[in-house]
Amino acid sequence: MAKTYKQIMDEARQAVPEVSPEQVKAKLDQAKHPVVLDVREKDEVRQGYVPGAVVIPRGFLEMRVEEAVPDRKTPIIAYCGSGTRSLLAGRILKELGYSDVSSMRGGFTAWKNLGLPVKEDRQFTPEQLIRYSRHFLLPEVGEVGQAKLLDAKVLCIGAGGLGSPAAFYLAAAGVGTLGLVDMDTVDLSNLQRQILHTNDRIGMPKTESAKLTLQALNPDVKVLEFRERLSSENAFRIFEQFDIVVNGCDNFPTRYLANDACVMLKKPLVDGAIWQFEGQATVFYPPQGPCYRCLFPEPPPPGAVPSCAEAGVLGVLPGIVGCVQALEAIKLILGQGTPLIGRMMHLETLSAEVRFLKLRRDPKCAVCSDHPTVTKLIDYEMFCGLGGGDNGNGADPDGGHHPEPPRPTAG
């Protein structure tokens, strides 16, 4: 016989004991506490929730609860807005075999009215809810991850070949603060690959052109321009303002400077390098993996390595490597996946081959070992004379290659 709503609720009340918000709070304060399960809809949870609660909307309960609470003996206290849906949810949980289930009387409204602690996640604007909707669908990102992205501060060294795609995708993903270090102006020869810039901006400072493009794409992003050449004088001041550094600028003095500054400030350096048809990407982040000096202790002699301006680069290649750098930065921000720390992706575009090389730390590294010999920043161009770059001002914005390819190691 069909049941009425009242009958169903009466049955639920008999099957699922109710506890007061104060009792829930007391249990939560104990070292070993029950799982508090919020069964409200997403937009309700956005207005605030019980700190530490596991959120599974009522409509997804049967599908998701086994993953969230695998042990069916785990005590669960369910709550909703007013205490009705949580009773019904409790009944389902009992049917699923959870033995110790109760429901919070009066729901979140009662909890809040008693002045008990409430946690509120970042509030997204209606536009942001649409803009980042594809991120929200991924459990690995979700609203919590998107909030991390919006709070993150990433510095791109160079707004050129690698910096363009990296900054472009970081901005699209909603990385809230992007810094750009580049003292170049846009040149016609850049436009074959440096996609932040446009024909009508030739002669404009690259940081200014980049800012226009990035903010047109996503007004959420704050772009900080550093129209200066990275040096021992300004590296700490600039780097300190950011969580992660993306290196898209590969003259050797800057490469060593960026590495040493990141090691000393304990910040991850997402590195990229390109050479004609070959690209490499890795993350230098000791002590989990090596730094650049572990692989290449000293810069090559002046003139030993030609720059991209001299050797050429396939236009699409920095796009691929720069996107890998953006991806690695986003993984680090989210704390998801396995970063390219201690591994280097090597891409050969003509043969369409991708290899991953294992990289090892040098226990005697001059900068990241326990007993470093390099303890302050060095301006190598002062004596090694490597200008590099499109215009010889020291900022090769294409990320020229490493002095020699790293050797694969066992494993």
Question: Rounded to an integer, what distance in angstroms lies between the CA atom of residue 237 and that of residue 240?
Answer: 6
- Which residue from 298, 300, 408 is spatially nearest to 359, judged by alpha carbons? 408
The least distance separating Zn ion from the CB of residue 78, rounded to whole angstroms, comes to 51
The least distance separating Zn ion from the CB of residue 292, rounded to whole angstroms, comes to 7
The least distance separating Zn ion from the CB of residue 409, rounded to whole angstroms, comes to 15
Q: Which long-range contacts does 167-170 make (Cβ < 8 Å, 24+ apart)? A: 167/196, 167/210, 167/214, 167/246, 167/326, 168/195, 168/196, 168/213, 168/214, 168/217, 168/326, 169/322, 169/323, 169/326, 169/327, 170/246, 170/326, 170/329, 170/330
Binding site for Zn ion (CB under 5 A): 291, 293-294, 365, 368
Cross-strand partners of 156:
180, 246
The least distance separating Zn ion from the CB of residue 298, rounded to whole angstroms, comes to 12
The least distance separating Zn ion from the CB of residue 374, rounded to whole angstroms, comes to 9
Is the Cβ of residue 197 or residue 293 nearer to Zn ion in the bound state? 293
Compute CA 94 distance to the chain's CA centroid, rounded to the nearest angstrom. 39
The least distance separating Zn ion from the CB of residue 368, rounded to whole angstroms, comes to 3
Is the Cβ of residue 351 or residue 373 nearer to Zn ion in the bound state? 373
Is the Cβ of residue 89 or residue 368 nearer to Zn ion in the bound state? 368
Is the Cβ of residue 317 or residue 341 nearer to Zn ion in the bound state? 341
The one-character DSSP state at 408 is P
Non-local CB neighbours of 353 within 8 Å, separated by 6+ positions: 347
Cross-strand partners of 357:
344
The least distance separating Zn ion from the CB of residue 367, rounded to whole angstroms, comes to 5
Exposed, middle or buried by CB within 10 Å (0-12, 13-18, 19+), for 17?
middle
Sheet holding 76-79, edge to edge: 18-19, 101-104, 76-79, 35-38, 54-55
First to last CA, the chain: 66
CB 207 within 8 A of CB 182: yes
Is the Cβ of residue 210 or residue 262 nearer to Zn ion in the bound state? 262
The least distance separating Zn ion from the CB of residue 296, rounded to whole angstroms, comes to 10
Cross-strand partners of 49:
119
The least distance separating Zn ion from the CB of residue 288, rounded to whole angstroms, comes to 12
Is the Cβ of residue 277 or residue 296 nearer to Zn ion in the bound state? 296
**Neighbour-count burial for 275-293, b at 16+ CB within 10 Å, e otherwise:** beebbbbbbbbbeebbbbb
Positions of E strands within 7-122: 18-19, 35-38, 54-55, 76-79, 101-104
Is the Cβ of residue 294 or residue 333 nearer to Zn ion in the bound state? 294
Is the Cβ of residue 76 or residue 365 nearer to Zn ion in the bound state? 365
The least distance separating Zn ion from the CB of residue 399, rounded to whole angstroms, comes to 20
Is the Cβ of residue 167 or residue 263 nearer to Zn ion in the bound state? 263
CB 68 within 8 A of CB 56: yes
CB 128 within 8 A of CB 365: no
Is the Cβ of residue 334 or residue 377 nearer to Zn ion in the bound state? 377
Question: Rounded to an integer, what distance in angstroms lies between the CA atom of residue 384 and that of residue 402?
Answer: 16
HSE-CB for 169 with a 13 A CA cutoff: 18
